[in-house]
Structure 1
Amino acid sequence: MVFRVSSLLFAPRRFFERERADLGVLGPFLVLIATGSITLGGQLLLVSMSVIGDSSTLAYVTSILRVELPAITVAGALVSFGHVFVYWVGYAAIFHGGTWPFSNDGQFRDVFLLTGWGFLPWFLTGLVWLVAMIGSAQITPAPTTPAESDIFVRQVQETTLVRGARMVDSVGMVWSLWLWGSMLRAVRDVTWPQAALAVLPVAVFEFAKLVLL
């Protein structure tokens, strides 16, 4: 497994050529679950240290445990976890459509499944971000009233630790773009310029997120 992952990260075209010959759903699906769990973990960390106040809540109660969260936070957590699956479908469609003028090789199913592997750098840089969030939350004064919760969340995300982790995000994004370009070369049999053109819309969107959000 370690060899398989290292091959993906450092020799991606060879990796994708092997995977195309024996396509599986489990590997990319686990990558997406792990990636979504990172953003979910960060959100739940902030919620666990916030003051709920009078917001409507959802409670889970057992004989030894009671967990109570704002209803809006539960919805937000589901979005945090599930958004990468939306990206998976959308990006695969962009990659397949973007290479359509240049090649008829490879089916959408091939591109879709192998696109999932390209999110692995998101998971790795997400781990850095989550550790930074945990450290930032520990050094930021916890809120004592519901009104202070929003301020607390902003302060946690504005520390040097978290800002530094965001810079690592840009490295992960470039890494993913390289993986997706390599995937298109292996699956769609296109040149690097053609693969780069297909990946360009995703690159513009992702870097816009880094700058604007």
Structure 2
Amino acid sequence: MGIYVNDSPPSQSRQFFRRKCQDPSLTGPILIVIATAIANVLSVAVVTSQIITALGKTSTTQLILVFSYVRILVLSIVGVFLMWFAVTAIIYVTMEKLNASQKSFRDLFKLVGWGFTPAVFSGLVSGVATFLVYTQVSFPSDPAQFSALFSSLRNNPIFFTSRLLFVTFTLWQGLLWFFAVKNLYDVSRRVAGGSVVVPTLLWLFLPLSSII
């Protein structure tokens, strides 16, 4: 039993952030955040591709497709980095108001970046779900009918499962931020947990797709 507890995911996360607090690096978090941005555009890329196919693959639509992919990816990367900064700022201000020991915003920023790891998996799951659903339907050639198609697929069981997994991944994300704060500030579980409630709810109720 002791071996199981020591090797449990929460224990591994605690030990991971304990090591990272000694010498926070920016390279790993940046790669994680970029991966998050790429994973989160997969769903939009699938739908865009299906729309272009329905409209006909002419040279113009192909150009529109490439432009759309580049635009979505750039906006996604910007959006995730803004969320990274926002989450860090919220936690930093919260800890200041709780009179926690002063820590470097830069160190907190680096540690918070690691917490986006579950968002990579969430984006991949969403992309796969979108692919499984939208590749099984025929898109109308009339763009005016797209809205009705999207509405009819909204309650698809695959999307429902994807949303449940999104909630699970978001809670995991909050747990990682919890360990980041607890180890960096060396505070109680109650204080660390209270500092990550707002960022976790922000990520949960303001999906990346709504800001790109």
TM-score of Structure 1 vs Structure 2, range by shorter chain = 0.7 to 0.9
Given that 1:136 and 1:157 are in contact with CA atoms closer than 8 Å, whether structure 2 keeps it comes out as no
Question: Alpha-carbon deviation of 1:174?
Answer: 0.8
The structure with the largest helix share of the pair is: 2
Match of 1:114 in 2: 111
Determine which of 139, 146, 151 is the counterpart of 1:149: 146
Question: Alpha-carbon deviation of 1:182?
Answer: 0.7
Matched, 1:95 2:91: yes
Question: Alpha-carbon deviation of 1:52?
Answer: 8.9
Per-residue displacement from partner, 1:183-212 (whole Å, max 9, x unpaired)?
1010011111111111121233334347xx
Question: Alpha-carbon deviation of 1:130?
Answer: 1.1
Unaligned runs of 5+ residues in structure 1 are: 1-5, 61-65
Matched residue SS, 1:21: coil
Percent of matched pairs sharing the same residue: 24
User: Would the alpha carbon gap of residues 202 and 122 (structure 1) be closer, same or farther in structure 2, given more than 3 Å must change?
Assistant: same
Q: Which moved more, 1:88-97 or 1:146-155?
A: 146-155
For residues 106 and 99 of structure 1, the distance between their equivalents in structure 2, rounded to whole angstroms, comes to: 9
For residues 152 and 74 of structure 1, the distance between their equivalents in structure 2, rounded to whole angstroms, comes to: 25
Question: Alpha-carbon deviation of 1:59?
Answer: 6.3
User: Would the alpha carbon gap of residues 10 and 144 (structure 1) be closer, same or farther in structure 2, given more than 3 Å must change?
Assistant: farther
Unaligned runs of 5+ residues in structure 2 are: 1-6
User: Would the alpha carbon gap of residues 190 and 21 (structure 1) be closer, same or farther in structure 2, given more than 3 Å must change?
Assistant: same
Per-residue displacement from partner, 1:70-125 (whole Å, max 9, x unpaired)?
97776455333431111100000111111123322431111001101101111112
User: Would the alpha carbon gap of residues 195 and 176 (structure 1) be closer, same or farther in structure 2, given more than 3 Å must change?
Assistant: same
User: Would the alpha carbon gap of residues 9 and 117 (structure 1) be closer, same or farther in structure 2, given more than 3 Å must change?
Assistant: farther
For residues 138 and 197 of structure 1, the distance between their equivalents in structure 2, rounded to whole angstroms, comes to: 42
The structure with the largest strand share of the pair is: 1
Given that 2:182 and 2:192 are in contact with CA atoms closer than 8 Å, whether structure 1 keeps it comes out as yes
For residues 16 and 8 of structure 2, the distance between their equivalents in structure 1, rounded to whole angstroms, comes to: 6
Match of 1:80 in 2: 76
C-alpha RMSD of matched pairs (Å) = 3.0
Determine which of 192, 197, 209 is the counterpart of 1:195: 192
Match of 1:15 in 2: 16
Matched residue SS, 1:109: helix
Given that 1:44 and 1:77 are in contact with CA atoms closer than 8 Å, whether structure 2 keeps it comes out as no
Given that 1:45 and 1:134 are in contact with CA atoms closer than 8 Å, whether structure 2 keeps it comes out as yes
Match of 1:138 in 2: 135
Residue correspondences, number: 198
Question: Alpha-carbon deviation of 1:45?
Answer: 1.1
Match of 2:4 in 1: none
For residues 33 and 7 of structure 1, the distance between their equivalents in structure 2, rounded to whole angstroms, comes to: 27
Matched, 1:185 2:186: no
AA aligned to 1:83 is: G
Matched, 1:172 2:169: yes
